[in-house]
Chain A
Amino acid sequence: MILERLVLENFRQFKGRQEIVFAEPGDGQNVTVIHAGNGFGKTTLLNAIRWVLHGHEALTEDFEKPERILHEGVAAKARNPEMVEASVELTFHHEGDRYVATRILSLQQQRANANKSKLSLTIVRDGQSFSEPSPQEKLRKIIPTGIRDFLFFNGENIDHFAMQEKADAVKDAIRQMLGLKLLDNTIEDLLGPKVRKVFEDALKEETSDEKAELIERQEDAENQLGKLQSDLKQIIANIEASTAAIRDVENQLAANQEAAELQARRTHIQKEKDDLVERKIEIERKLSRLIAEDGFTLFANELVRRGQEIMAELRSEGKVPAKVLKEYLQELLDRRVCICQRDLADHTPHRAAVEAKWASGKDQAFNNNVSKLDHAIGLIDGVAQKTATYLEDLNRQRLETSIRIHEIDGELNEIHGKIGKKHSNSVKELEGKRTEHSLRRDAEIAAKGGKEKEIESAEVEIQAIEARIEQIAETEEQAIIARERVKAVKDCAEVLKKIRDAETNDLRPMLSKMISDHCAKIINRKYTAVLRSDFTLGVTKNVSQLDGTDEEMDVAKNTALRQSLSLVFISSLVYLASERKKIPTIMKNVSGEDYPVVMDSPFGALDDHYCSRVAKWIPALAKQVVILVSSKQYAGPVQKALEEEDRVGRNYYLSYAGPTLSNDMDMHTVINGRKYKIYETSKEEITKIQEVKE
């Protein structure tokens, strides 16, 4: 979506018909700047765009009196409330088509229910116009609700995107913008009660009693599995929440002078412990496998020894291997001549003697088996020795790891005790909170293990039922088809899950890297920004440790840093969404788009360094940028950066007229060295959009 033109008519203080033409990406001058003093209408303009796209529900919290959309003066003088209207018209292009969205609210409707405005959407394609029958749905398709707040936002209120409580919104926006949400929806729909169940019911109708019963059992088991998985999801979410809470508390402790050193040490050894725990799990996994596969060899020593003795005895008696093979005796009988040249004709005593030898003789297979037995006994002996050595080694590793974990636990307890005894009440309180969160997380981790085991059992049960169903011969044709359909639903959902996981695994680190690169450019090279696996944003910096090494630590984010980080995140997301088109994917459906970024007062909390960086880099990352800004915020580093990059394609300012003007208000503003009148007396309140003359 690239914005072309916004036309307001009697929308709040924007009396009459007024318009803004936006700078478009083509020649690199992709920034539209709208200069306005406080209270002149910046937030109203932002909300006009949000309102035309998504209606009343999209208005921001700071948009006061949302039930009064129509210009108050116009409304007051209206004779026929049906004929007086406020409207916003937005022209934009998207995927090669031009769209004109118009939202209208009559005074009559405003009085009845301002939430119910009238929306129309015209699509212009190849010079022809079409009216979209479902305009709201179409607009939601172009700008999904979940990403609206990341594209059209009040810059003074965006720092929360970098905070834990917004993690879900961030996660949702990323998934929507990258097309992963489509996969989520599809999987959920396929496996939900209205698709899979429909075909399973059909299968039940078409199938034998025995199979019907099995299918019913399978259904119950799958429902149970679904419930267990949902429980597990909740447990994981709880663990993540506790982890984030611990991290927050630890950040605060790290920022506290009294606890900083101990906290740094705790972070360091906790990381070492986490690695060791992971290593111990791996060692135990290897141990389990070794015991399951080769453990028996350790108890086979006596058997191996006895086997070797028996074989030696048989060898010494000449019983193994067989010296004269049955095959050779048969050959002699067939030739009717013995090896000693005696005649072996029928009914002769010599033939009878050879036949008796043949009957008790051994064939080549016997000798082969003797060799195999020798080999197997030798092998077991060898494996037993290797198993014993490997087992000893693994046990030693497990013991060493356990000892070190135990030592670390001791040190962690010690640190906990020391921090808890600090004089500062705030430190004590933080440590107390940390303990609470840790206990909660430990309980959830224990619950997670139990739940995973239950899930494993449920999966085994389902597999067994499925295998039994497969075994039952299917004769009825309709039942075969019904079964195929059920299988197709499940298999397709499974493929989609794998695709979704693969795409998520590929895209998250990519976005994380972009955020990190852009953070280095916009914020500071000392900091590293990451998008963690739980999709929360983090900023870390290298802190020198007592032992001379560097340790990455979370930065306790201040407002300016959070705001800058949020801007980095938004622009990285928009940039990746645009680049997403270039990434090969399974089909066109999962693709990204170009999006504009409309920012109201984004520079308020930023110092000169951040202002300059944000002004330089955001227009480089987003295809189109609209900045609503006060002249005071604009003058200086923002203007300098935008001019150096030659980014500004369109320049407007808002002028205000009202019945009561503040005495200390400056009647003029200076933009690009020219003076413009922005303030005058009028009987009614009116904001006018004026283009800055070059």
Chain B
Amino acid sequence: MQTETQTMPKSTAKVSSAPDSANLTEAKRIFRDAPKHYQDLIKKIMEKEREVMHMARREDIHLDLCEIIRKNIPAKS
């Protein structure tokens, strides 16, 4: 199988460099500042959202999100 290469463009054609990662920690900081159980919940929700992101119809996403939240905060038996 052919593998995708990540070779950058030819050296003669210099382009703007990728942004410094140190400048982009705000979103990460916000996420890290959130309580741990919210971090887990957000990750699960986003994973589910990504699965259906480009679907023309996304009817079931709401049911799936409710289910994720119920599982994350379960009822006491």
Contacts and interface: CB of A to CB of B under 8 A. Distances in A.
Nearest to A27: B7
Nearest to B30: A498
A649 B38 CA distance: 49
A25 B5 contact: yes
A502 B1 CA distance: 39
B10 A645 contact: yes
A620 B14 CA distance: 8
Nearest to A30: B9
B38 to A, nearest CB: 6
Contact of B26 (A126, A505, A518, A621): A505
Contacts of A517: 15-16
A70 B39 CA distance: 52
A140 B27 contact: no
B23 to A, nearest CB: 7
Interface stretch (A338-346, A403-411, A451-459, A580-588): A580-588
A25 B75 CA distance: 53
Interface string B26-42: 11101100100110011
Interface residues of B, number: 51
B76 A502 contact: no
Given A514-B16, A575-B15, A620-B9, A584 B28 contact: yes
B4 A96 contact: yes
Given A488-B69, A616-B13, A124 B45 contact: no
A140 B46 contact: no
A26 B7 contact: yes
A201 to B, nearest CB: 11
B7 A25 contact: yes
A124 B1 contact: yes
Given A137-B55, A491-B38, A485 B70 contact: yes
Given A28-B10, A620-B10, A586 B69 contact: no
Q: Which DSSP category, helix, strand, loop or mixed, fits chain A's interface?
A: helix
Contacts of A619: 9, 13
Contacts of A443: none
Given A195-B66, A488-B69, A492-B42, A584 B25 contact: yes
A127 B1 contact: yes
A138 to B, nearest CB: 9
Contacts of B13: 616-617, 619-620, 645
Given A182-B46, A498-B30, A506-B27, A93 B4 contact: yes
Interface in A177-225: 181-182, 185-186, 189-190, 192, 194-195, 198-199
A321 to B, nearest CB: 50
Contacts of B10: 28, 620, 645-647
B19 A195 contact: no
Contacts, number: 163
Interface string A13-34: 0000000000011111010000
A485 B27 CA distance: 24
Range for the number of chain A residues in contact with chain B: 35 or more
A620 B25 CA distance: 28
Interface stretch (A247-255, A476-484, A678-686): A476-484
B66 A140 contact: no
A190 B2 contact: no
B53 A189 contact: no
A586 B31 contact: yes
A2 interface: yes
Contacts of A551: none
B75 A28 contact: no
B77 to A, nearest CB: 11
A575 B13 CA distance: 13
B55 A140 contact: yes
B21 A583 contact: yes
Contacts of A190: 45, 65
Given A584-B24, A620-B9, 20 more contacts: A190-B45, A194-B63, A195-B65, A195-B66, A198-B66, A484-B73, A485-B70, A499-B30, A502-B26, A506-B23, A506-B27, A575-B15, A585-B27, A586-B27, A586-B42, A590-B46, A620-B15, A645-B12, A645-B13, A647-B10
For the complex of A and B, list the 6 residue pairs with the smallest distance between their C-beta atoms, beginning with the closest.
A620-B13, A194-B62, A140-B54, A502-B26, A502-B27, A586-B31
